[in-house]
Structure 1
Amino acid sequence: MTTPWSRRGFLAVCSGTALALGMDMGMGTRAFAAADAFAALRAKWRALILGEGFSPTAEPFASRLAALGSTANRYLSTMSPTAGSLWPDLGYADPDPDTDQESYGYSGNMNTSYTRLSTLAQAYCQPGTGLTGSTAVRDAIHTGLDHLHDDVYNAGQTRYGNWYSWQIGAPQALLDVCVLMYDTLSATQLANYRAAVDHFVPDSAVGSYSGTSTGANRVDLCRVLALRGIVGASAAKVALARDALSPVFPYVTSGDGLYADGSFVQHTSVPYTGSYGSVLLGGLGLLFALLAGSPWEVTDAGRQTVFDAVEHAWAPFLYNGLVMDGVSGRAVSRGVSAADPDAVQQDDHLRGHPILASIVLLGQGASAAENTRWRGLVKGWTQRDYYSPPLADPVLGLPQLARLMSVRDDGSVSAVAEPTGHRLFPSMARATHRRPGWAAALSMADRRTTYYETGNGENLRGWHTGSGMLYWWGDTFANGQYSDAFWPTVDPYRLPGTTVSRKALADAAGGDWGAAMPDVNWVGGATDGQRAAVGQYLKGLQSTLVAKKSWFFLDDTVVCLGAGISCTDGAAVETTVDNRNLGSTGGAPLTVDDTAQPTSSPWSKTLTGARWAHLGGHGGYVFPAGGATVRALREVRDGSWSTINKGGSATVLHRRYLTLYVDHGTAPVNATYAYQLLPGASADRTKARAADTGWLTVLANTDDQQGVSVPSLGFTGVNFWFGGTVGTLTASDPCCVMISERQDGTAVIGVSDPMRMRASLTVTWRRAVTAVTSAPGTLVSSGTGAALTLGFGDLRGTAGATQRVTVRLD
């Protein structure tokens, strides 16, 4: 519970408050109280962005503060104000404003210039930097602020390049500096900077919830308006910022925002929980904390949606400290910047750690039960991230580090284990599956969800990430699979799990900002919360390729089927069973049907009649009874971040890969594939599964239906691309059906309408059933006895969600 600030507390946190505001000390009580409120908000913002509750002489804070001072010293020594730049390497004068795409870099340099001034301000304010309270730093900050104002960021300037730099990036950094240096800036300086912000971020920027003012962008804009109000003592601005948050809270059914199924979308069609979603979560946490206890506290009851989303939307994509790449959009291509090639490479772990810190901060405004639960989750994720320990994260900010340290050192908090279970996110064509010791995630695309996102010269070759990419991680192994320069070195036509045409695609093929989406409806699945049947009707990007792909997520395996694979591109068509990044040294042994394969690189083999394969330190692969023809490839691949991101480093990287794939030829017609993925399995367990030919029955693998049965698990799953009969199941129309028979004599039948087109649907299971014990409102009729008949009404409004029916078996 937040305790409102007292008047004495307001005055204690900042010196010279009344004088800094230019207020008459004889003013009335109301005006004085208002002055106190803004002073207190400035003090609170300082604490939020500088961090609190840590010793500057203790590690790792002492080293971080020293590093901050070193960086600030470098900026201080290289600052050289001249027309068009504040630093020689960050020219922001746009030579051709009519070429908007090329202008992005120049506006971005302006943004970065303000960020460097923010770094200087932090070094000035923080203890232990060697520059604390330095007059040279103070004067340099003043010089830099005035130069940028007079030269580029002012009320008379017309913006160019990326709107983000003018409305979010630059003003956020500028206002942070204004708060940190408030008592050293003149009234004229503050007025100039406020006028510039008002020019580029007018109240109308949040006038309607549309365009670039939605989701995470809206939260960022509200942060700008709130800080603008605090710096300028404008109650109206702060109130506007608070009220403009409200449209972010409700669930959406299309476009940007949070969905009832846990999806988070930005840029209309891009799954973005791990990038823009991180910004939204962090921004809301900061604003909730900033305004708590003030006259402008966020009290909208809708904010509970955000609290609920911590476990409903974010936690499913966090695994032992990392955030899954399938919901991070073009951010996966941001590895090492060309501007600072010595910087630490960004990856899924380093993107995940700020989310952990944001959850801790958000918990301060949630219920006691939620806060306790979340701190336990964060403690577990932090402890289990052996690959990239969050408390040693070299890019995590001091405030974020302090929040994670507070959880680590809290003896009353018990670490929460990774949950097991399956989650479907139909509104962004994603799925996650967690089992003891491993986790997997699936990325697909449909008419609502883009193949991939490119833009600003980023993620130039992410073309096939929505073509059924199947990611997986182990709890104590392979946790850096996609972290270790995977994206710049992997063959972009051989992403694990995908079926693609090797037709050459241009960089950024399909267009910017998720413009390319396949004209398909049947993408989704059904789950009982532990197992699932998932399917994708695949159409290739700028290709004639079509295919039906199915995944059945079970206890220790993912069963993968493909059918109807046809293409007339004249290029090879391949399904990549897996493509493991073996790092810079490689060496993971591959065994195929008891035969050890070479560990040296490169080599390529055609494995005819392969029944199983095992990759040491990773897991196993089982092929259908009778074996399959699979290609195996060991290679050393070269690449650089600049090949997939125009702003990336050109330093050449080398990584070793082991690839297993099925070659469907150059003109396949109704080609198929089938295999099991067993993450973390030993060679003996993989071999045993291959020998147990009765464990799995493939009921169908055609262009019309795909389905499997695993009697020992009581599992049956069928993707009906068209209505028909498969095994004991009959469906009147296209749908997904999965059944889990339980040992207590009950069964759960999950049914979904991935196409969102069924006004009615009948599903029949030829199994003796005595009663329906629970059902959703969409079930309008049922018949029991020697067979179960389920009649569903209109499913078009269910957004592809699973309709679960529980029955008592005879």
Structure 2
Amino acid sequence: MPPSPSRRTVLLAAATAPLALSAAPAHAADAYDAYDTLRLTWRDLILGTGFTPTAEPYASKLAALGASARDLRATMAPTSGSLWPDLPYADPEPDTDAESYTYSGNLGTSFDRLRRMTEAYAQPGTGLTGDTALRADVLTGLDHLHDQAYNASRARYGNWYHWQIGIPQALLDIDVLLYDHLGAARVAEHTAAVDHFVPDSAVATYTGTSTGANRVDLCRVLALRGVIGKAAAKLQLARDALSPVFPYVTKGDGLHADGSFIQHTYVPYAGSYGAVMLGGLSLLFALLKGSAWEVTDSGRQVVLDSVEKAYAPFLFNGLAMDGVSGRAVSRGVQKADTRGIRQDDQLRGHGIMAGIALLGRSASTAEKARWEAMVKGWIARDYFSPVLTSPALGVAQLARLQAVQDGAASPAPEPVGHRLFPGMDRAVHRRPGWAAALSMASNRITYYENGNGENLRAWHSGSGMLYWWGAAFANGQYSDDFWPTVDPGRLPGTTASRTPLTDGEGGAWGAARPDVRWVGGATDGTYAAVGQYLKGLSSTLLAKKSWFFLDDAVVCLGAGIHGRDGTGVESVVENRNLGANGVHAFTVDGSARSTALGWSATLTGARWAHLAGHAGYVFPGGATVKALRQARTGAWSDINKGAVSTPVTRRYLTLWFDHGTDPTWATYAYVLMPGATAAQTSARAADTGWLTVLANTNDQQGVRVPSLGFTGVNFWFGGTVGAVTASAPASVMIRESGDTASVCVCGPLRDGAAIEVTWRRPVSAVTSKGPSVQVISTGSALTLRVAPGTLGAVHKAVVQLG
């Protein structure tokens, strides 16, 4: 009896035979052509079109891709339990969940490496283009991983994400690029494996791990499975399963009407999961456009609107602000990333820009024009990390951005104004020359997210962390190894107990949330009053914190600072990353202070301070603050167990209020002036009439700036501050301009209870108001009754002054 043919012989024979099309409709060739068209469309989307492979930056990227593929090919060694020696994926009943997660992650990385090798085969200019031996190696690797790990009879272990999203996306991309060389048997095996791990039930309900960005990723898997297997039902399911992503939500995962994006129920995530969702939708919309499965749900307009409502507000000079990137801020360079590409705010921003450029293909002409103007402006201003040579972008993404750069759009400038995002306890303030962002926490939004061993020490990043960047300076503040080197107990803007915390303190996946509701603020779109009732993470710390965002400054107040942990409590004015070798002059009340590392001082009665190249700081009435210059060394692996552990050192200038051990109702006040010169800072400190602190107590905090017509009050409890009275907890912002004024009110408790606000200022008429605002009286004083609702929205009236 002749020996049975080997699996390799069967597959090689199948590769030359007509592909079995049992999943396709019975009516014939034109249906098959539709799948082939989609497959070729996807090939163009992931490889790119319209670029010259011998021109830069493509030539260098393609050469690097080829070099990486050669290295991977040389080290690939199929054996039981691994395809590469450094990536064992066997799961012989691991002792811990962490081991199981490692195994599943290694399996996912093995598929990623095969995809990279396949890209080197398929792309021009790699030195391996069309290399039949490389193709054979990839097929060998695919067969090995199928037989041993990713097949229809295998039970998953470790992290669900790898089995349902990471691995099948890599596998199906490879199948698209090598389709003509797979053969019917491989296609059947691969589609069966995907069906096993990603059944239709994965998108049957919009819950759990099948929401937001995850849902979009799952739909990408289902769509490509439909393309490869020529299955109309899978494509229809993928398209239809996108629909639950589109509507606005009022809590939890997804896009909120105020522009917030949440993932993992409690985590602001526009810069990471939101970016994945945007990128995934841009790809799927482009793939299915013009086909029988085109996404026509009218809800897709919410996604198109999100470009300007949810993403653009968090991009500044091309970087994506860290306060909406969750645990992704801790990633640095990952151990298994053979490309050595790090993650940071700059590179996350580049990915969002590429997603916006692609989504433009599915937008209206007007939307596309606006977006291309924004993207072109970001490209022009990103001096710290040039977009068109970004190491984080592939050839296809760069080609699309280059097309925008070469297009007719005029670069749009950075906008000016203030945006509040009550759905995720965030605020963004933009002025000519600088921008700032504020991160807070409540019973709705976590202090910070850790998980999978990532972002282990960002404990206080929701405790009022105040980020800021200059238009032409300090854009690398958080990009330049900030997170592994900064003192995690002294994040800028925060108030925190020095109580020692453990890695991952408070629980994973956003579990760490304070039991507080009063977080929010009021804005007229230009200025703002924002407040946070703070309860410290795993401490007895209490504090009331307010920020008043103005023209060239942010006024910062703290009150009710109280703790009984037997440790010190600090409020951090600043903690600037000065780079690896930065020596920036630091001046206090006109006197230069030491530039030596290790210098520290207690600045008694300080009225102002200035850090050259960064900002000025004013202390109304004088204050005692501490200052420290130091070099701090850390490694990304200190805060992320999956990151490379090479130590890095950065220099810092830290400025803080020391409230002492177990403070009782302590306070602070300071004015941040980004980009100010020493002369401007000194002049502001000398102008005692510029700012009046109306209140800074545990009950209310408020300021008035007459030259701006600005009054802002955060009423932690109802009461009267200056000329303003509120009947209940509220944030009130008033801005006078000539003979008109705008009155903005927010109910941060979100309990729906009515709030009456009286402003003792002659008002002749209310000229406009929102539907939630009722006019009680005008004349010698204005009284409004506001029905604030439960979403933290701002309610506005415009009045004629008497």
Query: What TM-score do you get using the length of structure 2 for normalisation?
Result: 0.97
Summarize the Cα distance change of 1:666–1:772 in structure 2 as closer, same or farther, 3 Å threshold: same
Matches within 5 A, 1:66-85: 66-85=63-82
Matches within 5 A, 1:707-786: 707-743=702-738, 745-786=739-780
Q: Is the 8 A contact 2:628 2:655 kept in 1?
A: yes
**How many residues were matched structurally?**
788
The alignment-based identity, stated in percent, is 67
Summarize the Cα distance change of 1:46–1:462 in structure 2 as closer, same or farther, 3 Å threshold: same
Superposition CA RMSD, Å: 1.5
Residue identity in the other structure for 1:762: E
Correspondence for 2:799: 807
Residue identity in the other structure for 2:164: Q
CA deviation after TM superposition for structure 1 residue 59, in Å: 1.1
Residue identity in the other structure for 2:527: R
Is 1:225 the counterpart of 2:222? The answer is yes
Task: Determine which of 158, 171, 176 is the counterpart of 1:179.
Answer: 176
Larger deviation: 781-790 or 531-540?
A: 781-790
Task: Determine which of 17, 42, 49 is the counterpart of 1:45.
Answer: 42
Structure 1 CA distance for aligned equivalents of residues 754 and 16 of structure 2: 69
CA deviation after TM superposition for structure 1 residue 418, in Å: 0.2
SS at match of 2:435: strand
Q: Is the 8 A contact 1:770 1:785 kept in 2?
A: yes
Task: Determine which of 660, 669, 676 is the counterpart of 1:674.
Answer: 669
Is 1:207 the counterpart of 2:204? The answer is yes
Is 1:122 the counterpart of 2:119? The answer is yes
Task: Determine which of 555, 561, 564 is the counterpart of 2:557.
Answer: 561
Task: Determine which of 455, 459, 465 is the counterpart of 2:461.
Answer: 465
SS at match of 1:75: helix
Q: Deviations over 1:568-606 (max 9, x none)?
A: 011110000000000010201000001000111011100
Correspondence for 2:653: 658
Task: Determine which of 785, 794, 799 is the counterpart of 1:791.
Answer: 785
Correspondence for 2:5: none
Correspondence for 1:509: 505
Q: Deviations over 1:220-266 (max 9, x none)?
A: 00000000000000000000000000000000011100000000000
Structure 1 CA distance for aligned equivalents of residues 378 and 71 of structure 2: 35
Correspondence for 1:11: none
SS at match of 2:206: coil
CA deviation after TM superposition for structure 1 residue 30, in Å: 4.3
Matches within 5 A, 1:231-380: 231-339=228-336, 343-380=340-377
Structure 2 CA distance for aligned equivalents of residues 413 and 388 of structure 1: 22
Summarize the Cα distance change of 1:702–1:417 in structure 2 as closer, same or farther, 3 Å threshold: same
Matches within 5 A, 1:338-737: 338-339=335-336, 343-410=340-407, 412-625=408-621, 627-737=622-732
Structure 2, unaligned runs of 5 or more: 1-13
Correspondence for 2:144: 147
Structure 2 CA distance for aligned equivalents of residues 419 and 781 of structure 1: 33
Summarize the Cα distance change of 1:783–1:483 in structure 2 as closer, same or farther, 3 Å threshold: same
Residue identity in the other structure for 1:802: V
Structure 2 CA distance for aligned equivalents of residues 779 and 176 of structure 1: 54
Correspondence for 2:3: none
Residue identity in the other structure for 2:651: R
CA deviation after TM superposition for structure 1 residue 566, in Å: 0.1
Q: Is the 8 A contact 2:21 2:229 kept in 1?
A: no
Summarize the Cα distance change of 1:452–1:20 in structure 2 as closer, same or farther, 3 Å threshold: farther
Structure 2 CA distance for aligned equivalents of residues 291 and 807 of structure 1: 50
Structure 2 CA distance for aligned equivalents of residues 367 and 427 of structure 1: 28
Q: Deviations over 1:472-505 (max 9, x none)?
A: 0001000000010000000000000000001000
Correspondence for 2:7: none
Structure 2 CA distance for aligned equivalents of residues 424 and 458 of structure 1: 28
Correspondence for 1:4: none
Structure 1 CA distance for aligned equivalents of residues 666 and 394 of structure 2: 51
CA deviation after TM superposition for structure 1 residue 621, in Å: 0.2
Is 1:168 the counterpart of 2:165? The answer is yes
CA deviation after TM superposition for structure 1 residue 343, in Å: 1.8
Residue identity in the other structure for 2:749: M
SS at match of 1:622: strand
Residue identity in the other structure for 1:467: S
Q: Deviations over 1:534-584 (max 9, x none)?
A: 000000000000000000000000000000000001111000000000001
CA deviation after TM superposition for structure 1 residue 778, in Å: 1.2
Is 1:108 the counterpart of 2:105? The answer is yes
SS at match of 1:115: helix
SS at match of 1:537: strand
Summarize the Cα distance change of 1:341–1:641 in structure 2 as closer, same or farther, 3 Å threshold: farther
Structure 2 CA distance for aligned equivalents of residues 802 and 609 of structure 1: 38
SS at match of 1:611: strand
Residue identity in the other structure for 2:82: S
CA deviation after TM superposition for structure 1 residue 338, in Å: 3.0
CA deviation after TM superposition for structure 1 residue 97, in Å: 4.2
Residue identity in the other structure for 1:734: P
Q: Is the 8 A contact 2:350 2:392 kept in 1?
A: no
Structure 2 CA distance for aligned equivalents of residues 695 and 584 of structure 1: 37
Q: Deviations over 1:638-665 (max 9, x none)?
A: 1000100001122111110000000000
Summarize the Cα distance change of 1:489–1:256 in structure 2 as closer, same or farther, 3 Å threshold: same
Query: What TM-score do you get using the length of structure 1 for normalisation?
Result: 0.96
SS at match of 1:772: strand
Summarize the Cα distance change of 1:770–1:17 in structure 2 as closer, same or farther, 3 Å threshold: farther
SS at match of 1:664: strand
Q: Is the 8 A contact 1:605 1:631 kept in 2?
A: yes
Q: Deviations over 1:300-332 (max 9, x none)?
A: 000000111100000000000100000000000
Structure 2 CA distance for aligned equivalents of residues 710 and 341 of structure 1: 54
Structure 2 CA distance for aligned equivalents of residues 448 and 538 of structure 1: 13
Structure 2 CA distance for aligned equivalents of residues 360 and 701 of structure 1: 47
Residue identity in the other structure for 2:230: A
Q: Deviations over 1:351-380 (max 9, x none)?
A: 110100100100110000000000000000
Structure 2 CA distance for aligned equivalents of residues 376 and 796 of structure 1: 36
Structure 2 CA distance for aligned equivalents of residues 643 and 485 of structure 1: 12
Residue identity in the other structure for 1:782: I
Structure 1 CA distance for aligned equivalents of residues 180 and 656 of structure 2: 64
SS at match of 1:477: coil
Structure 2 CA distance for aligned equivalents of residues 753 and 764 of structure 1: 15
CA deviation after TM superposition for structure 1 residue 29, in Å: 10
CA deviation after TM superposition for structure 1 residue 342, in Å: 7.8
CA deviation after TM superposition for structure 1 residue 465, in Å: 0.3
Structure 2 CA distance for aligned equivalents of residues 208 and 109 of structure 1: 29
CA deviation after TM superposition for structure 1 residue 21, in Å: 3.7
SS at match of 2:558: strand
CA deviation after TM superposition for structure 1 residue 620, in Å: 0.2
Residue identity in the other structure for 2:533: Y
Structure 2 CA distance for aligned equivalents of residues 29 and 152 of structure 1: 33
Residue identity in the other structure for 1:417: P
Structure 2 CA distance for aligned equivalents of residues 568 and 341 of structure 1: 48
Task: Determine which of 81, 95, 99 is the counterpart of 2:96.
Answer: 99
Structure 2 CA distance for aligned equivalents of residues 267 and 694 of structure 1: 47
Summarize the Cα distance change of 1:731–1:135 in structure 2 as closer, same or farther, 3 Å threshold: same
Structure 2 CA distance for aligned equivalents of residues 189 and 366 of structure 1: 37
